[in-house]
Amino acid sequence: MSTERGTQTLREVWRSGAARLRQAGVEEADADAELLLLYLLGIGKTEWLRDMREPFPVEKLEVWESLLARREKGVPVQYVVGDQHFYGRAFEVTEAVLIPRPETELLAEAVLRIGDELFGPNGQGGSCPVVLDVGTGSGALSVTLAAERPTWRVIASDLSEDALAVARRNASKLGVGGKLAFVQGDLLTPFMVNGPGSDVEIDILVSNPPYIPSADIEGLQREVRDYEPRLALDGGEDGLNPYRAMAGQLTALKRLPRLVAWEVGAGQAADVAGLLRTAANWDDVYCVKDYAGIDRHVIALCK
């Protein structure tokens, strides 16, 4: 391998960058170095495979070094490049929002499928359901639902104004800026009796709230522990505080949603399902497994 600057190929630069990340304890060093390099060069996977033997542009070396340095320190690669794909769309992510996870795509799929069963495919049954996404963060769920079902009326809420700003930008970038309403507030409080959204009749309530037990946060990967927003992680002593609160708030809404769909942490599904069963008389309460076979989403239905 050549050691002279300006004579290394893209492949050589990628391999040396991956080695640096690996030495720094980055688990997906090869993949992350590749992602950083593609971001730096503004190219896609096809171009990368075609051009990896081309010389690395020396004028980009300083920026390349800074990208690697941030990742070496533990900054998640998604924050370094500024986006994460979710349900086929690129979402802006900053340290104000949780990085969308693949398992949450299964929650979106479940809501889309059940919503079509309840209200007709894409509202063709004459119903245009009102959807509330609590703790929207980047807007991954709310924007996806609005984009996939244009007739649905989607509300995105979050306690963090910084998170809502990211969600607004994503909605605008992805072509649904005029289809979403954004509300700042804590869980269901804005939509309860005497709240500013108390007149809203919510048909579908979806949420991926904080569910990590407080004592477990220090043991998380440094990428999560040190960089993702604690507000979006900390679910209280046992991780169930947001679910308890929302379950207790359901009866203070103008009406009970016909569909409640919540993401939960590993081992929490039975407890969350119990909270929902206690809160109201549902026709059905069941769990949806994630890719690892873990009960990851709790669904409650009033048919």
Model pLDDT for residues 49-87, shown as the tens digit of each residue: 999 999 999 999 999 999 999 999 999 999 999 999 999
Which CATH number covers residue 274? 3.40.50.150
Question: What value does the mean pLDDT take over residues 195-204?
Answer: 92
Whether 44 maps to a domain, the answer reads yes
**59 and 129 inside one domain:** no
Task: Please give the pLDDT value at position 193.
Answer: 83
Question: Is the pLDDT at 1 greater than 50, yes or no?
Answer: no
210 labelled as ligand-binding? yes
Q: Which residues of 144-160 are buried (b: 16+ CB within 10 A; e: fewer)?
A: bbbbbbeebbbbbbbeb
- Per the structure, the complete domain to which residue 18 belongs is given by 10-73
- Kindly report the number of other CB atoms within 10 A of residue 62's CB atom: 9
State how far the alpha carbon of 174 is from the alpha carbons of 152, 167, 170, 179, 247, in Å: 16, 10, 6, 11, 32
Question: Is the pLDDT at 12 greater than 80, yes or no?
Answer: yes
Question: Is the pLDDT at 126 greater than 80, yes or no?
Answer: no
208 labelled as ligand-binding? yes
**257 and 129 inside one domain:** yes
Percent above pLDDT 70 for the chain: 96
Whether 88 maps to a domain, the answer reads no
What is the C-alpha end-to-end distance of the chain, expressed in Å?
A: 65
Contacts 24+ apart (CB under 8 A), 57-66: 58/5, 58/6, 61/5, 64/13, 64/17, 64/36, 64/37, 64/40
**141 and 277 inside one domain:** yes
177 labelled as ligand-binding? no
**203 and 282 inside one domain:** yes
**191 and 109 inside one domain:** yes
Q: What type of residue sits at position 157?
A: S
Whether 217 maps to a domain, the answer reads yes
Counted domains in the chain: 2
Percent above pLDDT 90 for the chain: 92
194 labelled as ligand-binding? no
Whether 25 maps to a domain, the answer reads yes
139 labelled as ligand-binding? yes
281 labelled as ligand-binding? no
Question: Is the pLDDT at 139 greater than 90, yes or no?
Answer: yes
**132 and 228 inside one domain:** yes
**67 and 103 inside one domain:** no
Whether 289 maps to a domain, the answer reads yes
**123 and 20 inside one domain:** no
Whether 170 maps to a domain, the answer reads yes
